[in-house]
């Protein structure tokens, strides 16, 4: 797998809500670019958002706790690893959302572990930008980045009460494991093919 994450800020032109192609969209409020080594702190912030996904929860897990608990920290620790892939949404020069993929080994599996050659997705949108299409746009961008890197499947774990499960389903993720009391593992299969940027 190529280490795209460290390569630099290649912009995905015009990736925008409701737009599955690479055509530029003039009124898109953000751009999506590849994540770089400079984005680690922001991505950790988005991981904290993902862990504390429900606005109804009164007791949130602190950033320190998320980043020191192995089960959550391993999604971002040491970013970027050689095989990590990621995308960042930016509006007005500020990061507003991130999605990334990391391969985790069977000995240290993520919540959505399927196999050591299937990377797991993490995604978070800054609170004031939610519900405006950035999440869907990032899901499409990371899938395209993964497909171009030769990845054939992406997995994730999502709590059943999180509306994000419907978003994932609408982007082609299918439930493959419902054995956990509160969450499902979902997998998206990627067609072979390569997009040239």
Ligand X SMILES: CC(C)(COP(=O)(O)OP(=O)(O)OC[C@H]1O[C@@H](n2cnc3c(N)ncnc32)[C@H](O)[C@@H]1OP(=O)(O)O)[C@@H](O)C(=O)NCCC(=O)NCCS
Stretch that binds ligand X, among 4-12, 58-66, 72-80, 128-136 (CB under 6 A): 128-136
Instruction: Tell me whether strands 11-12 and 183-189 are parallel, antiparallel or unpaired.
Output: unpaired
User: Is 110 a binder of ligand X (CB under 6 A)?
Assistant: no
Quote the least distance from Cβ 133 to ligand X, whole Å.
5
Give the footprint of ligand X on residues 129-148 (CB under 6 A). 130-136
Quote the least distance from Cβ 179 to ligand X, whole Å.
17
Q: Where are the beta strands (DSSP E) in the chain?
A: 11-12, 31-34, 85-91, 94-102, 120-125, 153-159, 174-177, 183-189
Binding letters toward ligand X, positions 166-185, x by CB under 6 A: -x------------------
* CB closest to ligand X, residue no: 135
Q: How far apart are CA 92 and CA 114, in angstroms?
A: 37
The nearer residue to ligand X, 81 or 166, going by C-beta atoms, is: 166
Q: How far apart are CA 117 and CA 104, in angstroms?
A: 8
From the list 35, 43, 50, 142, which residue makes contact with ligand X (rule: CB under 6 A)? Answer: 50
Q: How far apart are CA 29 and CA 123, in angstroms?
A: 19
Tokens representing 108 are: 């240290």
- Interface residue list for ligand X (CB under 6 A): 49-50, 53, 123-125, 130-136, 158, 162-164, 167
């Amino acid at each position: 797998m190529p280490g795209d994450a460290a390569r630099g800020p290649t912009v995905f032109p015009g990736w925008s809500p409701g737009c599955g192609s690479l055509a530029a969209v003039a009124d898109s409020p953000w751009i999506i670019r590849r994540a770089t080594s400079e984005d680690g702190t922001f991505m950790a912030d988005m991981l904290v958002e993902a862990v504390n996904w429900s606005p109804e929860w009164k007791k949130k897990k602190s950033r320190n706790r998320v980043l020191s608990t192995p089960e959550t920290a391993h999604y971002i620790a040491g970013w970027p690893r050689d095989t990590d892939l990621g995308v960042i949404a930016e509006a007005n020069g500020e990061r507003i959302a991130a999605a990334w993929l990391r391969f985790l080994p069977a000995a240290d599996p993520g919540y959505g572990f399927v196999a050591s050659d299937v990377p797991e997705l993490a995604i978070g949108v800054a609170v004031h930008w939610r519900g405006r299409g950035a999440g869907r746009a990032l899901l499409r961008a990371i899938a395209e980045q993964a497909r171009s890197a030769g990845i054939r499947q992406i997995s994730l774990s999502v709590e059943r009460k999180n509306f994000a499960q419907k978003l994932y389903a609408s982007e082609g993720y299918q439930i493959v494991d419902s054995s956990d009391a509160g969450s499902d593992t979902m997998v998206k299969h990627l067609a072979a093919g390569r997009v040239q940027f």
